């Protein structure tokens, strides 16, 4: 029933697709049932649905920042729909700043050889 994703084997990514080469549909997401272990359903572009053994469906976005893999939680299904998760993933891919960055970049003060506040 499930085939490996074309982006990598299930051993390396842990992600499956309902059919290889096709994105998820809302009907497929609604019909997903929990299993003994947590598993992922990939949508493409790093977006995937994590289905927990307790029955929760969580949207995650896998991305790379400066060569380091990061995972960004987008929300719980059905609070965050498939289209909303895709929009959030698209916005993140086109933004220059990582959404987890909370602090502004610290730079040396004008004419100072020391970092401000140190």
Domain ranges of the chain: 3-94
Q: Which CATH class, in words, describes the domain spanning 3-94?
A: alpha beta
φ/ψ (deg, to 5) at 73: -80, 130
Burial class (CB in 10 A: 0-12, 13-18, 19+), 35: exposed
What is the pLDDT, as a whole number, of residue 92? 83
Res. 54 pLDDT band, cuts 50 70 90:
very high
Average pLDDT over residues 76-99: 83
The C-alpha atoms of residue 45 and residue 6 are separated, in whole angstroms, by 12
Neighbours of 47 (CB within 10 A): 25
Q: List 51's β-bridge partners, or say none.
A: 39, 57
pTM of the predicted model as reported, rounded to 2 decimal places:
0.64
């Amino acid at each position: 029933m499930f085939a490996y994703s074309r982006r990598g084997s299930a051993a390396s990514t842990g992600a499956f697709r309902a059919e290889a080469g096709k994105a998820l549909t809302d009907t497929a997401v609604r019909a997903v049932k929990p299993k003994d272990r947590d598993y992922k359903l990939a949508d493409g572009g790093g977006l995937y649905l994590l289905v927990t053994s307790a029955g929760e469906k969580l949207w995650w976005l896998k991305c790379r920042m400066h060569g380091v893999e990061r995972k960004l939680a987008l929300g719980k299904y059905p609070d965050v729909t498939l289209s909303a998760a895709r929009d959030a993933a698209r916005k993140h891919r086109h933004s220059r700043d990582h959404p987890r960055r909370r602090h502004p970049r610290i730079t040396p003060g004008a004419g100072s050889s020391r970092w401000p506040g140190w």
